[in-house]
Amino acid sequence: MNQLAQKIKELAQAYTQDTVGIRRHIHANPELSFEEHNTATYVEQVLQSYGLETVRMANTGVVALVKGRNPESKTIALRADLDALPITEQNTVDYKSKNEGVMHACGHDVHTASLLGAARILQEVRGEFEGTVKLVFQPGEEKFPGGASIMIKEGVLQQPAPSGIIGQHVFPMLPAGKVGFRSGMYMASADEIYITVKGKGGHAALPELNIDPVLITSHLIVALQQIVSRHASPKVPTVLSFGKVEALGATNVIPNEVKVEGTFRTMDEVWRKEAHRRIRKLAEGLCESMGGSCDIDIKFGYPFLKNDPDLTGRAREAAALYLGEENVVDLDLWMGAEDFAYYSQEVAACFYRLGTRNEARGITSGVHTPTFDIDEAALETGIGLMAWIAVQELEARTA
């Protein structure tokens, strides 16, 4: 292993305890999406204590630059998210959430603490790499339209423009000490579908006088599955699920309308729009053919997340060098959504997973659950690896 990697490892080890403290502070004081006022101020204070200048973006987002030698030569961005979820924590740890009903249940406390630790390391070794590392602490990952989209609109990918952006996310399926990568499509776009099927209600014993929206809806739900089975390429993962059907009639009452709600997820932006068009056309045509009609509203959520193959390949190699090949795994596709996807639509991106599981200590709960927690040993990996990947990427003379 080269000297700089060794030095980063030593610094990561030395700073782990402080990082645990930072993580616990953020964990105990969670704030909801776009309300991360105290968290943003805290992040600013910590960065300033390392001698870094900070800039506010998107109200509660914070950006800072670590400048190495020849800082204009190349820029790489590292991203963390600041927000917590509306969940009441059930862990009995002494850093348990002090904000009733709000919890860092998606590990964004870990991402923020890790990026602060990486910042400290990078600032310490700034004389030993060329280029600039842009630190991006964004608000509101968990809530549409997503802090990432606002940061991009406010220019986070400009001045200086990074050649790539790297994000790290906790992964409770993977043991602490390990990390996971996937090249190409990784996470899904997620759109919400709201359909109101309209008919004409009346006595259930007199079907000839009614237009039954319940029957129309039954056909519609079955028919819409052909969008997935007959129009989606088998090479592009696609999911269409309806989790809510509301027909407020009775055993003997046909209602006037039925409400249907679902989610559409895929991993191709062209197909995504084409699928929306087909869903609409099929729903309208089918309802009309059965004598009814429908209102259909499809709300765009986050886009799909693509990991740039070159950047991800280099980051994976850097991780294997730093942690050993045995600690780097290949990830499966993930049909969940993440607003980091917005960056991946604009610039080369790599979103990798940080293992946080510890079976022996019972740390196995999934994200977005009231008992989610991490093995804090993961923080040493988190801070060092992020710094190392950034440095390696600045070394790579691409573009």
Binding site for Zn ion (CB under 5 A): 106
Question: C-beta of 368: minimal distance to Zn ion in Å?
Answer: 6
Question: C-beta of 107: minimal distance to Zn ion in Å?
Answer: 6
Judged by beta carbon, residue 179 or residue 214, the one nearer Zn ion is: 179
Judged by beta carbon, residue 87 or residue 389, the one nearer Zn ion is: 87
Question: C-beta of 169: minimal distance to Zn ion in Å?
Answer: 6
Judged by beta carbon, residue 168 or residue 358, the one nearer Zn ion is: 168
Distance between CA atoms of 171 and 357, rounded to whole angstroms?
Answer: 7
Judged by beta carbon, residue 189 or residue 256, the one nearer Zn ion is: 189
DSSP string, 174-226: EETT-EEE--EEEE-EEEEEEEEEE-B-EETT-GGG-B-HHHHHHHHHHHHHH
298-337: burial string, b at 16+ Cβ within 10 Å, e else? beebbbbbbbbeebbebbbbbbeebbeeebbbebeebbeb
Three-state secondary structure along 63-113? EEEEECECCCCCEEEEEEECCEECCCCCCCCCCCCCCCCCECCCCHHHHHH
Judged by beta carbon, residue 108 or residue 306, the one nearer Zn ion is: 108
Question: C-beta of 374: minimal distance to Zn ion in Å?
Answer: 13
Residue corresponding to tokens 């348990």:
96
Residue corresponding to tokens 């924590």:
89
DSSP reduced 3-state for 334:
strand
Judged by beta carbon, residue 143 or residue 280, the one nearer Zn ion is: 143
Judged by beta carbon, residue 106 or residue 195, the one nearer Zn ion is: 106
Question: C-beta of 217: minimal distance to Zn ion in Å?
Answer: 31
Question: C-beta of 305: minimal distance to Zn ion in Å?
Answer: 12
- Residue of minimal CB distance from Zn ion? 106
**Pairing between β-strand 54-57 and β-strand 61-67 as defined by DSSP bridges:** antiparallel
Judged by beta carbon, residue 11 or residue 170, the one nearer Zn ion is: 170
Question: C-beta of 385: minimal distance to Zn ion in Å?
Answer: 18
Residue 136: count of CB within 10 angstroms of its CB: 25
Identify the sign of the CA torsion 97, 98, 102, 108: negative
Q: Which helix (H) or strand (E) holds 314?
A: helix 309-323
Residue corresponding to tokens 């009231």:
370
DSSP reduced 3-state for 366:
coil
Question: C-beta of 302: minimal distance to Zn ion in Å?
Answer: 11
Q: Which burial class, exposed, middle or buried, applies to 155 when counting CB atoms under 10 A from its CB (0-12, 13-18, 19+)?
A: exposed
